[in-house]
Amino acid sequence: KVVCVTGAGGFIASWIVKLLLERGYTVRGTLRDPADPKKTEHLHALEGSAERLQLFKADLLDEGSFDAIVEGCDCVFHTASPFYNNPKDPQVELIDPAVKGTLNVLGSCKKAASVKRVILTSSMAAVVFTEKPLSPDVVVDETSYSIPELCEKAKEWYVLSKTLAEQAAWKFSKDNGIDLVTINPAVVIGPLLQPTLNTSAQIILYLINGSPVYLNYSFGWVNVKDVALAHVLAFETPSASGRYGMVDKVIHFSEVVKIIKDMYPSLPVPEKSQGRGSRAWELS
C-alpha cells in the first residue's frame, strides 16, 4: 500500500515513517525542503527507505501543492504543523499553517479517489484548555474542545492553532465525506531519530541545562513510539474512528526532575519550582 506522511522529517513523523517502512508500506513523505540533510538524512538511513521512501517538496500554505503527492495514496497521515512558543505573529506563523494547511491537505485528499482515510495529528492541546481543572473527577471525551477565546486571552497561540485546525478538519471532513481519525497526544517524548530538537524534547533539555527552577506544572506525557503506532493502527483498524487521546501518565515536573536525577545522578537538575499551579491548559 502507498501512504503519505506530511512533515516527514519531524520528530513524531519520522517514527511514523520508520514504522510504516517496517510494515512494508511505500511512503511518500513531504517536507518544505527535501534537500535539507538535517531533515532527510535520518529518513534515508531507515531500513527499506532506498526501495520504498520517496520525498517530495510541499508547503502547507502552497494551495494544491499536495495534490499530485496524495493522488494514488491509500492513506494520508497529516502531521505537519508548526509547534513552538512565543511567535512574533501568531496568525501568520502558527494559525494559518495549522488551519489553512490542514484544509489544503484535506482538499487534496478530497480530490484523490484513492485516499480511504486521513489520520490527523491533533493534540491534547485541542482538548483540555478549558475553565475546568485537570482533577481526576473531570472527564474529557470526544466532545471536549479547548475554548478559542480562552486560548486568545492567555496568548496560548499553539494551543489555539491546534484547536482551530482540528475543528476545521472535522467540519471539512463531514462536509466532504472524508473518513478522518485524529490522534490527540499529550507531551510526546522519547528517542529522537532526527538530529535537531523539537519543542517537546526541549522541555527535557531545559531541565538538565543548568536552569535553577522547574515549572510548577503537571503535564500528560506519552512515548513517541506509542504515538507512531497509534497513527498506523488508526489506519489499519477499519473500526477506528473519531478522536484518540493519548496520555500515558500525568506527572508533575518535580517527579520528572526526580526521575532524571535517579537515572543520571551527575546531571544538574533544578531543585525549586516556579510558576502557576497545575491547570488544564498545561497539558500539551
What are the residues binding ligand NDP (CB under 6 A)?
7, 9-13, 31-32, 39, 59-61, 79-83, 97, 101, 121, 123, 162, 185, 187-188, 198, 200, 284
Residue 88 CB, nearest approach to ligand NDP (Å):
15
**Contact in structure between 33 and 9 (CB atoms under 8 Å):** no
CA atoms of 81 and 68, how far apart (whole Å): 20
Whichever of 200 and 278 has its CB closer to ligand NDP, that residue is 200
Spatial distance between the Cα atoms of 150 and 131, rounded to a whole number of angstroms: 8
Residue located via cell numbers 477499519 = 238
* Closer Cβ to ligand NDP, 198 or 278, answer by number: 198
Q: Compute the least distance from the CB of residue 38 to ligand NDP, in Å.
A: 9
Grouping H, G, I as helix, E, B as strand and the rest as coil, residue 48 is coil
CA-closest candidate to residue 75, choices 14, 26, 10: 26
User: Shortest Cβ distance from residue 265 to ligand NDP (Å)?
Assistant: 27
At position 85, the amino acid (one-letter code) is: N
Distance between CA 187 and CA 159 in Å, rounded? 12
Nearer to ligand NDP, 205 or 272 (CB): 205
Shortest Å distance, C-beta 192 to ligand NDP = 9
Distance CA 151, CA 153 (A): 6
With beta carbons less than 8 A apart as the criterion, state whether 250 and 220 touch: yes
Helix (H, G, I), strand (E, B) or coil at 115: coil
CA dihedral 133, 138, 143, 144 (to 10 degrees): 20
Question: In terms of CB distance, is 194 or 278 closer to ligand NDP?
Answer: 194
| Minimum CB distance to ligand NDP, residue 226 (Å) | 12
**Structure-block grid coordinates of residue 30:** 513531504
Closest to ligand NDP by CB, 105 vs 112, is 105
Closer residue to ligand NDP, CB minimum distance, 124 or 272: 124
Closest separation between CB of residue 221 and ligand NDP, Å?
9
Rounding to the nearest 10 degrees, give the CA dihedral for residues 56, 60, 64, 70.
50
Residue 82 or 90: the one with the smaller Cβ distance to ligand NDP is 82
For residues 196 and 33, give the distance between their C-alpha atoms in angstroms, rounded to a whole number: 15
- Name the closest residue to ligand NDP (Cβ): 10
Residue with cell 534537500: 35
User: Which residues are bridge partners to 274 per DSSP?
Assistant: 215
Closer to ligand NDP by CB, 35 or 113: give it.
35
Residue 60: CB minimum distance to ligand NDP, A: 4
Task: Provide, rounded to whole angstroms, the least separation between the CB of residue 271 and ligand NDP.
Answer: 25
